[in-house]
Amino acid sequence: MHITARVDYALRAMVELAAGEPGLVKGERIATAQAIPLKLLENILLDLKHGGLVRSQRGFEGGYGLAKPADDITLADVIRVVEGPLANVRGVRPESVGYKGLSEPLRDVWIAVRASLRTVLESVTIADIVSGALPAPIRRLLAKPEAWLPH
């Protein structure tokens, strides 16, 4: 899976917003704390707002906050708002990909890859990241030495 800079920045911004709850956090503060270019961050925050994950308020007391509790926002939710579906093949959902002949089973592999991504990304919330306490199934995956191999 390729994690884009937009997804990385969006997740890091959501963590900053969760840590700032229940108050609002200025975009400049998030940008500085996470070394994210402010203009790009503002565009990402706008996407997150349109996706129903972030709220904003203008003015001196303004800033950004989470639109719902951090334990109700999964990493998958953020990724879907910023980048779209978790897995696709050449821009098409895996179940819509058609192969012929010996390559037919590849579609099922891509669907399984998506299911695996969902298993992880839908089980971890922004609150889990802020607390540093990942769910037990994730910790079990991380405990396997092969999880840390670079290939």
Split the chain (151 residues) into runs of 10 and give each run's mean pLDDT.
94 97 95 97 98 95 96 98 92 90 95 95 98 96 95 83
- The pTM for the full model equals 0.91
Taking the alpha carbons at both ends of the chain, their separation in whole angstroms is 12
Q: For residue 120, what pLDDT is reported?
A: 96
The four Cα atoms 145, 146, 147, 149 give a dihedral, to 10 degrees, of 110
pLDDT of residue 48: 98
Distance CA 125, CA 1 (A): 19
For residues 12 and 14, give the distance between their C-alpha atoms in angstroms, rounded to a whole number: 5
